[in-house]
Amino acid sequence: MRRTTLLALALAAAPAAAQVQLNGAGATFPNIIYQDWILTYGQTHPDVKLNYQSIGSGGGIRQFSDGTVDFGGSDAPMTDSAIAAIQGNVLHIPTVLGAIVLTYDLPGVTQQLKFSPDVIAGIFLGTITKWNDARIASINPGVTLPATDIVVVHRSDGSGTTYGFTDYLSKVSQDWAQKVGKGPSVNWPVGLGGKGNEGVASTVVQTPGGVGYVELGYATANKMAFGLVQNSAGKFVAPTLDAVTAALAGALAKMGPTTDFRVSITNPDGADAYPIATMTWLLLHKSYADAAKAKALVQFVWWAETEGQAKAPTLGYAPLPAQLRPWIQVRLRSITAGGRAAWSGPAAR
């Protein structure tokens, strides 16, 4: 009896299996699906605790580069100089595709508005200031537009959504390219700032006449109006998942097995392509000091790239095409810890 009691006490005192803590931070664009993935994965992998803070792509790149998080999230690829500053110790792993939409609050207007490239540039340059401007009216026949002031809402933080939106504007507007340019942060000619996709969405909702750019998931989650956008073929296209996937088709033709995935898919060719689409990336180190962390992180990312993709359509994102999986798997298998491969991984499927 005494031996049994001692054994029971010893077992009770034995430490539980160590839980691996993984911290990440970055883009707000994919935050909806990242939080869903973390919750779902955690239900079957209690030995791994994942945390992702939605602070914007600029903050994610900064914290990843400083080594204060295990992985970053960004909708803006790191620049060559930023990669060189960390001795090239980064992999860009795409996770999902998404649409950046023009969302607006225009009381009394129930029809879905159309936006052409010149109208979008004019609004955000501050040269189109009223909703009943002739340039907006000409592409929205039959819509009674009010003489309401246009109130531009943009991101106030460093943002991959801003990068994607300004990358698009720089392609379709010479004035924009010359006066503002593209980047995670730009000097906005006009407008109010909101932090994160959440901040832009809430500011537009609270501002009659407001217009801003947000990831599709935030617009649909908040039941916000958003417009059709004219693509390079001259067709006004809704930001459907098929239209976002079509935007990637042209880029895939230019990619190959050795790609680093830093590819722009805005204003692509194709009659059915939505023109303001983007990939979003997880930023992973090529080498980690902690083998347990490295293995747990890569296993989670591979789960997200396979089983997790099924969640994308229900949350407003387009899943990655399966043809990218072998290329992604090669990158994940290249990650090392202590000089050894962190993960061998199953066959791509």
Q: Give the bridge partners for 20, in sequence order.
A: 48
How does pLDDT run across 241-291, given as a tens digit for each residue?
A: 999 988 888 677 778 787 899 988 999 988 999 999 999 999 999 999 999
What are the b/e assignments for 235-271, b being 16+ CB within 10 Å?
Answer: ebbebebebbbbbbebbeeeeeeebebebbbbbbebe
Mean pLDDT of the chain: 91
Q: What is the pLDDT of residue 255?
A: 80
The answer to whether the beta carbons of residues 64 and 27 sit under 8 Å apart is no
How confident is residue 9, by pLDDT bands cut at 50, 70 and 90?
very low
Residue 240 pLDDT > 80:
yes
Ramachandran angles phi, psi of 265, nearest 5°:
-120, 20
- Give the three-class secondary structure for 310: helix
End-to-end, the C-alpha distance of the chain in Å comes to: 54
Q: Give the bridge partners for 282, in sequence order.
A: 73, 93
The answer to whether the beta carbons of residues 124 and 178 sit under 8 Å apart is no
Residues listed for the chain: 349
Q: What is the mean pLDDT of residues 197-217?
A: 93
How confident is residue 333, by pLDDT bands cut at 50, 70 and 90?
very high
Q: What is the pLDDT of residue 276?
A: 97
Residue 13 pLDDT > 70:
no
Q: What is the mean pLDDT of residues 224-234?
A: 96
What are the b/e assignments for 22-47, b being 16+ CB within 10 Å?
Answer: bebbbbbbbbbbbeebbeebeeebee
Please report, for residues 124, 183, 296, the alpha-carbon distance to residue 40 in angstroms, rounded to integers and kept in the order given.
39, 33, 15
pTM (two decimals): 0.83
Residue 348 pLDDT > 50:
no
Residue 2 pLDDT > 90:
no
Residue 11 pLDDT > 70:
no
Residue 229 pLDDT > 90:
yes
Closest by Cα among 154, 155, 153 to 55: 155
How confident is residue 346, by pLDDT bands cut at 50, 70 and 90?
confident
Q: Give the bridge partners for 139, in sequence order.
A: none
Question: Distance of alpha carbon 100 from its chain centroid, rounded?
Answer: 9
Residue 130's identity, in one-letter code, is K
Ramachandran angles phi, psi of 275, nearest 5°:
-80, -15
Strand pairing of 210-215 and 151-155? Answer: parallel
Q: What is the pLDDT of residue 14?
A: 42
* Domains of the chain, earliest start first: 20-97+279-341 (3.40.190.10), 99-249 (3.40.190.10)
Q: What is the pLDDT of residue 272?
A: 93
Please report, for residues 107, 144, 168, 245, 281, the alpha-carbon distance to residue 320 in angstroms, rounded to integers and kept in the order given.
37, 39, 21, 8, 11
Closest by Cα among 328, 311, 322, 320 to 349: 322
How does pLDDT run across 29-54, given as a tens digit for each residue?
A: 899 999 999 999 999 999 999 999 99
How does pLDDT run across 187-201, given as a tens digit for each residue?
A: 999 999 999 888 999
Strand pairing of 287-288 and 318-319? Answer: unpaired
Question: Distance of alpha carbon 344 from its chain centroid, rounded?
Answer: 27
Q: What is the pLDDT of residue 15?
A: 45
How confident is residue 169, by pLDDT bands cut at 50, 70 and 90?
very high
The answer to whether the beta carbons of residues 101 and 228 sit under 8 Å apart is no
Q: Distance between CA 183 and CA 176 in Å, rounded? A: 12
